[in-house]
Homo-oligomer: A and B are copies of this chain.
Amino acid sequence: MKNLLLLVTLLAISVPSIGDEGMWTLDNFPKKTLKETYGVNITDDWLETVKRSVARMDSGCSASFISPNGLVLTNHHCSISCISQNSSTERNLEADGFLAAAKQEELSCATDRISVLTETEEISEQVAKATAGKRDAEAGEARRQYLKRAVQDCEEKSGLKCESVSLYNGGQHWLYKYKRYDDVRLVFAPERDIAAFGGDPDNFNFPRWCLDMALLRVYEDGNPAATPNYLEWRSEGLDVGEAMFVAGHPGNTQRLLTVADLKFRRNVSIPHWLLRYVELRGRYIQYAAAGGEAYRTVQEPLQTIENGIKVQRKRLDALHDDALFSQKEAAELELQKAVAADPELADEVGSAWDDIGRANATYLQFRDDYLFIEAGAAFGGRLFNYARTLIRRAAELEKENEKRLRPYTEAALPRTEQLTLADRPFYPELETLQLSFSLDKMREFLGPDSPFVHQILGNESPESLASQLVGGTELADPAVRAKLWQADRETLAASADPMIQLALRVDTQARELRKRYEDEVEAPIDLAYEKIAKARFAIQGTSDYPDATFTLRVSYGAHEGWNEKGVDVRPWTTVSELFPRVTGDAPFRLPDSWSDARMTMSGDIKFNYVGTTDIIGGNSGSPVIDKDGKVVGLVFDGNIHSISGSFWFDQALNRTIAVHPEVMLESLGSIYGADHLLEEMGVR
């Protein structure tokens, strides 16, 4: 009941955010609120240091510099690609952990990149000019082209890496400029059994005991990069109730979505996503039951989808809370009324809300086709993706930069190349499972009588076609991909590779579906949100924070527990509480290093803790920072209530979960013998 009352206030449009809600851009950080609520002065210097010390990982995580020599702190689960790419049956870094005794032992992370935001520039007016007088599909195309051009110009002028960013659902457009490190290496990772102790059952739970940390290093020209802006440690961590800050790159929230869009997620997107991935989870788990290589190689994809399943399940539960949903409806109605009361604004905003519902209804007519044929749901695994990237690159490079699909623009091409050519371990049996599963779901969702399904499967079953494709293609070989990366359209058209041929056969229809999606769904929805954003600015001003967009944000809050169904949850855990929870089996099994530590490590050392900061997926790896700019923790999760943070923030229940500095520093020293790193971090 308490929550419900809270939310009424929360959603009332005149008080857009309350309590510790908000993932703030640095130019709009609510210093005044901080001063009033926590008595803390946040200076421009503090914000600048944070900006320069906090980084983004292309894999979808956050990170921070913790030494002048490019040493990076992030989560184990944010480094899992790098760890598993460097693993083999003989040298299983996931199971056994890793420590580079010296810099030359640090291991290359083939698909990681790390970026630091340096400058931002608003270009809302230029975008408005580019789309002025245009409608829907035409406006969408004009906006896309303008933004690609702006990014390209920005990169040429600044020498930095540029991205276009839309804030407030299109209410503002910005260029974000990054210093980017393409050479990332693994320095330290603990064993998975302690990094992810409790596994999926404990994911999003608290109390918790996870050493979910890893250390990476960025390199330039083959040497450790100089990173003069970095964070120093406050080893003892925060006091209870003390103000804390989380700086990072939260992925996306949907707090400004309209009711029509929320319903679309509730009724369509989330249930359908769950239906596919929950079945794949069952396949993976049974596949892992064979043990050995099968078990080892499926862990990374399994953990990824298990995390997604928990998130989507809880999001669905949130959207099924009819009482909360009614509040969203009421808030929308209030905004609509305010718009209607202002004739000029009403004229400008028009039927924006209805437009979104209409575009979604249109989408529903071809959503399954779009999803399976263009968005890749029919073609799981990596091989088809390689094939499509190669043929699209060849086709797109024939066009002007601004007319290309985004991954093939000059700004985006290096990342596309890195992902395509990276030499990663390849597991044909797992790849066949993934491809065969997705072909099977294609047949299920599009129906056995779909012409596309007939075209793809012919007289083959999903299993037999997947086996033939995986067995017949040469694209698993990075040398073959590197060669084809240079190939033009004619060469690829003449290729005998069955996966290339499949990608070619699908491409016309896939591109038509993308075009239809962009023109009939994305464009009208973008336009509608722009109008709604304008209405919001006009009525509420621009003092509120925008939805998360995988760009730099700072959240604030306090180191505090919560009350779970009448029971106060203590805001931290200690080492001594870990051991009674241990069983002999994953995911509640300890690595030997930690079993051994039971007798030597102090039981009072703090392990994980929680606070009221407002975070979301993408904040993983974020440093927790105190008022003096010191690291006091490492965000790795939110509690179960944090998942509904996609749609609304609940101050009473929503909590960030972080690794405590005590357990990180103590275990680096006494368990892992990484004294050279502690020294580099300035702790010893």
Report A's interface with B, CB cutoff 8 A: 198, 200-202, 205, 263, 266-268, 271, 274-275, 278-287, 289, 313, 316, 320, 322, 433, 443-444, 447-449, 457-461, 463-464, 582-586, 588
Given pairs A283-B283, A448-B588, 4 additional interface contacts (CB within 8 A): A200-B444, A275-B278, A281-B282, A459-B582
Checking B267, B275, B283, B457 against A285 with a beta-carbon cut-off of 8 angstroms, the contacting residue is B283
Chain B contacts for A447, CB-based, 8 A: 201, 205
Chain B contacts for A202, CB-based, 8 A: 448
Chain B contacts for A284, CB-based, 8 A: 282
B263 with A322: CB separation less than 8 A: yes
Chain B contacts for A287, CB-based, 8 A: 286
B443 with A583: CB separation less than 8 A: no
Checking B271, B279, B289, B463 against A585 with a beta-carbon cut-off of 8 angstroms, the contacting residue is B463
Cα A201 to Cα B200 with chains together (Å): 32
Cα A93 to Cα B102 with chains together (Å): 66
Chain B contacts for A205, CB-based, 8 A: 447-449
Cα A586 to Cα B440 with chains together (Å): 12
Cα A458 to Cα B275 with chains together (Å): 31
Known: A279-B281, A286-B286, A448-B202. A461 touches B320 (CB 8 A): no
Cα A564 to Cα B514 with chains together (Å): 26
Cα A278 to Cα B586 with chains together (Å): 23
Checking B198, B267, B448, B583 against A459 with a beta-carbon cut-off of 8 angstroms, the contacting residue is B583
By beta carbon, the residue of chain B nearest A270 is: B271
Cα A448 to Cα B310 with chains together (Å): 14
Closest chain B CB from A317 CB (angstroms): 8
Main secondary structure of the interface of A (DSSP, over half): helix
Cα A322 to Cα B325 with chains together (Å): 14
Cα A518 to Cα B586 with chains together (Å): 38
Checking B268, B271, B283, B460 against A282 with a beta-carbon cut-off of 8 angstroms, the contacting residue is B283
Cα A422 to Cα B447 with chains together (Å): 39
Closest chain B CB from A565 CB (angstroms): 10
Checking B268, B278, B457, B583 against A279 with a beta-carbon cut-off of 8 angstroms, the contacting residue is B278
What are 28 residue pairs bridging A and B, where the CB atoms are less than 8 Å apart in the complex? A200-B444, A201-B448, A202-B448, A266-B320, A268-B320, A271-B316, A274-B274, A274-B275, A274-B278, A275-B278, A275-B313, A278-B278, A279-B281, A279-B285, A281-B282, A282-B283, A282-B284, A282-B285, A283-B286, A448-B588, A457-B583, A459-B582, A459-B583, A460-B585, A461-B583, A461-B584, A461-B585, A464-B585
Closest chain B CB from A655 CB (angstroms): 16
By beta carbon, the residue of chain B nearest A584 is: B459
What are the 5 closest A-B residue pairs judged by CB atoms, nearest first? A282-B282, A461-B585, A286-B286, A267-B320, A279-B282
Chain B contacts for A279, CB-based, 8 A: 278-279, 281-282, 285
By beta carbon, the residue of chain B nearest A266 is: B320
Cα A391 to Cα B171 with chains together (Å): 66
Checking B278, B322, B443, B448 against A267 with a beta-carbon cut-off of 8 angstroms, the contacting residue is B322
Chain B contacts for A282, CB-based, 8 A: 278-286
Chain B contacts for A275, CB-based, 8 A: 274, 278, 313
Closest chain B CB from A1 CB (angstroms): 12
Closest chain B CB from A375 CB (angstroms): 20
Chain B contacts for A200, CB-based, 8 A: 444
Closest chain B CB from A4 CB (angstroms): 13
Cα A460 to Cα B461 with chains together (Å): 39
Cα A201 to Cα B585 with chains together (Å): 38
Cα A582 to Cα B460 with chains together (Å): 10
By beta carbon, the residue of chain B nearest A459 is: B583
Cα A459 to Cα B585 with chains together (Å): 8
Chain B contacts for A271, CB-based, 8 A: 271, 274, 316, 320
Chain B contacts for A461, CB-based, 8 A: 583-586, 588
Closest chain B CB from A274 CB (angstroms): 7
Chain B contacts for A463, CB-based, 8 A: 289, 585
By beta carbon, the residue of chain B nearest A290 is: B290
Cα A448 to Cα B320 with chains together (Å): 24
Cα A281 to Cα B275 with chains together (Å): 11
Cα A227 to Cα B458 with chains together (Å): 49
Chain B contacts for A289, CB-based, 8 A: 463
